Structure 1
């Protein structure tokens, strides 16, 4: 079973710095650190952006994640209410 590993921001920054500042290949660094190429590629793209813009992007991403969760919850509530309305409409006939 695949377990999702959590990495610290410092680890991510250092891994990305090996590619950005030191010029190592993404594949080499990823293999050395035991992470996927795609993961490191995402970190490199993230840390190439200046920190103030990155903070704004992170805030927007977090807000988007919260709004999607709220929308999912509200959709479930709506569906439950629709079913309840249909049930009680049949009962009253």
Structure 2
């Protein structure tokens, strides 16, 4: 009998259960029928990939939030000026 060949999705899901859901490595190992050695190996493999994509995701999220903040600030200023509360309407 040969060694089982698990898909990348299976490996990611298995690894995801440990830090995100808080399960112990041994518990995930027993439940999925995978050795703890394999889980630790997959954790190293997918942690590197996750950290690389994570930094890219954070940068994109920061840009999106800055655009959103600029839009909200502009809308707030427009509403202030329209209601007569802003500096353009000072008496």
TM-score (norm 1): 0.50
User: How many residue pairs get matched?
Assistant: 53
Shift of 1:39: 0.4
Tell me, which stretches of 5 or more residues in structure 2 are unaligned? 54-91
Whether the 8 Å CA contact 1:15–1:29 is kept in 2: the answer is: yes
Question: Which residue of the partner structure matches residue 34 of structure 1?
Answer: 33
Give the structure with the larger helix fraction: 1
**Partners in 2 of 1:40 and 1:7 — Cα distance?**
12
CA-to-aligned-CA distance 1:10-62 (integer Å, 9 cap, x gap) = 000000000121121100000000011100111112111134859xxxxxxxx
Question: Which residue of the partner structure matches residue 19 of structure 2?
Answer: 20
CA RMSD of aligned residues (A): 2.0
1:43-58 to 2 correspondences below 5 Å: 43-51=42-50
Question: Which of these two proteins has the greater Rg computed from alpha carbons?
Answer: 2
| Higher RCO, 1 vs 2 (CA within 8 Å, ≥6 residues apart) | 1
**Partners in 2 of 1:52 and 1:29 — Cα distance?**
22
**Partners in 1 of 2:39 and 2:14 — Cα distance?**
7
**Partners in 1 of 2:19 and 2:46 — Cα distance?**
9
Tell me, which stretches of 5 or more residues in structure 1 are unaligned? 55-93
**Partners in 2 of 1:14 and 1:32 — Cα distance?**
13
